[in-house]
Structure 1
Amino acid sequence: MRWGVPIAAAAVIGAAIGAGPVIAAVSGDPVLPERSAEQLLADAAAAAKKAGGPPQMSGTVQQTASLGLPALPSQGGSASPLAMLSGSREIKVWYGAEDRLRVALPGQMSETNLIVNGDQAWYWDSGTNTATKVKLPAEGEQSQAKPVPSPTDLTPQQVAQGFLDRVDDSTGVSVTNTAEVAGRAAYQLVLTPKAQGSLVQEVRLALDGENYMPLQVQVFAKGSAEPAFQVGFTQVTFTAPAAENFAFTPPAGAKVEEQDLGKLGGQQPEHGKEAEKAAGDVKVVGEGWTTVAVLPFKPGAQKPEEQKPGEQKPDEQKSGSSEAQALTAILEQATPVSGAWGSGKMIKTKLVTALLTDDGRLLAGAVTPDELVKVAGQ
């Protein structure tokens, strides 16, 4: 796992968290003052734009995906995008200020930590016994190799905002005032798509009862009684974390590396350039609940690189190989399809459908296969 991934995760998690004083525990279901759906939508929008940043806190975020995919090979860390397609994982976070935060990503037999303290950051990987010291750019210093890029990090507020942005005449909205998440009383907004082509049955957003910040997001697929995807706090405490949480000294015997982002200037890692180019090639078709993303896809790019007998690969190559194996496992479940648009393979899950065309396109969305075929023919 490259250091840029956990740094981005930490920054986004820190920015995503927002809550006020802890609401006292109650017996039975909490009951909050009644508010209409329109009022809650306005409150949520105002909370997202609130100045001053999040409060000091510590907590645990858990993300669970049950899309009906086959068991995937181990990804060697919970930050892998493909690792988020199945199973459950958690992130522990401590937030003291914009430049004082820590994120821990527990693994099966190891743990990675990012500790940001002032203009420096440590990335500790117990699995490889490697500590990377990262000096962040000084104020006003420019660097294209940003310490806080904007990947799609799965935090309650980030995910909730994506759904809130879709609320329009194509969405039914209702609200209850008796939810409870991580010991906090919460309102629950229920968003119901009206579009027949969407695979989403409903989305439940739990908003904090005092400050209206999202504490949990549950996405239900049509025909399913349990959420196909869920992300939310399981524990949260809104007090200043102890200073020791942001102090780090590499253990004896650990491999220590250094990276100064301020000195990278206009340089950008090759993998960053590739990701930027791929993002620029994405075309979005449709709107709202039936949006479909279309981007170039190289047939065979999913095949893992062959390893010679006795060869030891660097950690990043091993990680890339496991991701390729996971993608191969998913593609093995694909069904051959064809039509006037051409031919390809269709991958169907409870919540997402993807079409890989033989002419080099990948179409994906939370839509029915018929919707993808329509877009493929345009």
Structure 2
Amino acid sequence: MATGLRSRTGRTVAAGIAVAGAVGLGLLAAPAGAGAQPQLPPVDPEELVRSVLAAEPVAFGGTAELDNALGLPALPGMPQAANGTSTARIWSDGEKRGRIQLPTESGERTLVSDGETFWSWNSADRTVTRSPEGARDAAGADPSAAADEALAALRPTSEIRVDGTAEVAGRAAYELVLTPASSERTLLREVRVAVDGEHRTPLRLTVVATGSSEPAMRIGFTDITFGPQDPELFTFTPPPGATVEDAQRPEDHPGGPGGDAEPTMVGDGWDTVLVSTVPTGPDAQRPEGVPDLAELGSPVTGPWGSGRLISTAVASAIVADDGRIAAGAVPEQVLTEALAR
């Protein structure tokens, strides 16, 4: 999982940022460390960004904590969406394989990429969903992947600086700060990325909303160990008695690849909006792992139609009655402009 996520750029990167920002699901955080700043050699901000994006993925295992202040309620199967703290365990072999274990309100979800197949296990209903490698990812749960995507998507429209150093998960890290250019229409004031001084791996991502000095969310490790991991972590065998389902392929969705169901990007950088379409009607089925957003937010109408506006400190989304969803780290006006195109 880690390699594929670190290598994505352009539309895919921006889409991941827009979705993750809009719903705030699976974002894991670590409290800022205290104490003296560790000593690291001076580094130019642009050079630090280049070194992060060019760094080869390394194998690791670690623990991350969620501590967000987005203001979302707990969603079925995704308690990480609600304000508060939760934990996850993450492993990567530095190549194509990875494992993430996420607690839920009634059990645990385990996500495993074995290099060929992506497995999702829900202990609450004892259901396994499998899909081809690359059809799913868990960027929101991996601090390194989330920070890499943020850097790639926001770098061209940002002012960048290095704000000293910090200790994160017991490791010395540079504090890289990105602030939006004056032309950007965004709800965000800044994004901070703590970069490991040795491996150039992002260890923590902090997002601060406009008008606030406190983080709306952070994503980071509380402990991390670099080096080879147990190969058994990257294999998965459905437990006895489990129900195994094949994930619906994109070509099986209405519209199919290249049709109405294919997400589109409007804008770029900080004010990117992802516009996608989901099935509607009484017989419509949501993709596995996607919560029902129809009852969230407040009613909103415009030349684009009608729907519901869901707002958090750092992002917003409009779920239109016709099945369209516009999401991004932007105010409502930017969303409605994207829907009206």
Could you say whether these structures have the same fold, taking a TM-score greater than 0.5 normalized by the shorter chain as the test?
yes
Match of 2:336 in 1: 373
Q: Which deviations, in whole Å up to 9, do the C-alpha atoms of 1:300-337 show, x marking residues without a partner?
A: 679999xxxxxxxxxx99x77xx32xx2441xx31434
Task: Tell me by how many angstroms 1:371 deviates.
Answer: 2.1
Give the Cα separation in 2 of the matches to 1:94 and 1:224. Answer: 33
Q: Which deviations, in whole Å up to 9, do the C-alpha atoms of 1:139-173 show, x marking residues without a partner?
A: xxxxxx51342445212232222222234563111
Match of 2:252 in 1: 273
| Structure 2 length-normalised TM | 0.72
Give the Cα separation in 1 of the matches to 2:163 and 2:283. Answer: 44
Contact (CA 8 Å) 1:33, 1:177: kept in 2 or not? no
Q: Point out the structure with max Rg over C-alpha.
A: 1
Give the Cα separation in 2 of the matches to 1:247 and 1:297. Answer: 32
Task: Tell me by how many angstroms 1:355 deviates.
Answer: 2.8
Match of 1:185 in 2: 172
Matched, 1:146 2:136: no
Match of 2:58 in 1: 54
| Structure 1 length-normalised TM | 0.66
Change (3 A) 1:129 1:118: same
Task: Tell me by how many angstroms 1:199 deviates.
Answer: 0.7
- Aligned letter for 1:41? V
SS of corresponding position for 1:165 = helix
Match of 2:205 in 1: 217
Task: Tell me by how many angstroms 1:374 deviates.
Answer: 3.1
The counterpart of 2:51, out of the listed 22, 43, 52, is 43
Q: Which deviations, in whole Å up to 9, do the C-alpha atoms of 1:260-314 show, x marking residues without a partner?
A: x9xxxxxx73577339658853222222211122233566679999xxxxxxxxx
Q: How does 1:117-128 map to 2 (within 5 A)?
A: 125-128=122-125
SS of corresponding position for 1:162 = helix
- Aligned letter for 2:74? L
Matched, 1:227 2:235: no
Change (3 A) 1:300 1:180: farther
- Aligned letter for 1:44? V
Match of 1:288 in 2: 269
Contact (CA 8 Å) 2:58, 2:226: kept in 1 or not? no
Unaligned runs of 5+ in 2: 7-32
Task: Tell me by how many angstroms 1:40 deviates.
Answer: 0.8
Task: Tell me by how many angstroms 1:175 deviates.
Answer: 0.6
Change (3 A) 1:372 1:27: closer
Give the Cα separation in 1 of the matches to 2:215 and 2:338. Answer: 27
Unaligned runs of 5+ in 1: 1-10, 17-24, 135-144, 262-267, 306-315
Matched, 1:103 2:100: yes
SS of corresponding position for 2:132 = coil
Task: Tell me by how many angstroms 1:198 deviates.
Answer: 0.8
Match of 1:72 in 2: 74
In angstroms, what is the RMSD of aligned CA positions? 4.2
The percent of aligned pairs where both chains have the same amino acid is 32
Give the Cα separation in 2 of the matches to 1:248 and 1:357. Answer: 38
Q: Which deviations, in whole Å up to 9, do the C-alpha atoms of 1:32-91 show, x marking residues without a partner?
A: 1111212211211221xx3xx523x3211334442223x23432x56xxxx546554432
Task: Tell me by how many angstroms 1:106 deviates.
Answer: 2.7
Give the Cα separation in 2 of the matches to 1:172 and 1:213. Answer: 21
Match of 1:176 in 2: 163
- Aligned letter for 1:286? G
- Aligned letter for 2:197? G
Q: Which deviations, in whole Å up to 9, do the C-alpha atoms of 1:222-281 show, x marking residues without a partner?
A: 122222232111111224445775788888xx425678x9xxxxxx73577339658853
Give the Cα separation in 2 of the matches to 1:172 and 1:126. Answer: 44
Give the Cα separation in 2 of the matches to 1:219 and 1:302. Answer: 38
Task: Tell me by how many angstroms 1:13 deviates.
Answer: 8.0
Change (3 A) 1:54 1:280: farther
**Which is worse superposed, 220-229 or 26-35?**
26-35
Q: Which deviations, in whole Å up to 9, do the C-alpha atoms of 1:204-236 show, x marking residues without a partner?
A: 011101121111111111122222232111111
Give the Cα separation in 2 of the matches to 1:186 and 1:239. Answer: 18
Give the Cα separation in 2 of the matches to 1:32 and 1:362. Answer: 44
How many equivalent pairs are there? 312
Contact (CA 8 Å) 2:126, 2:243: kept in 1 or not? no
The counterpart of 1:90, out of the listed 84, 87, 91, is 87
- Aligned letter for 1:214? P
Change (3 A) 1:304 1:231: same
Give the Cα separation in 1 of the matches to 2:274 and 2:236. Answer: 42
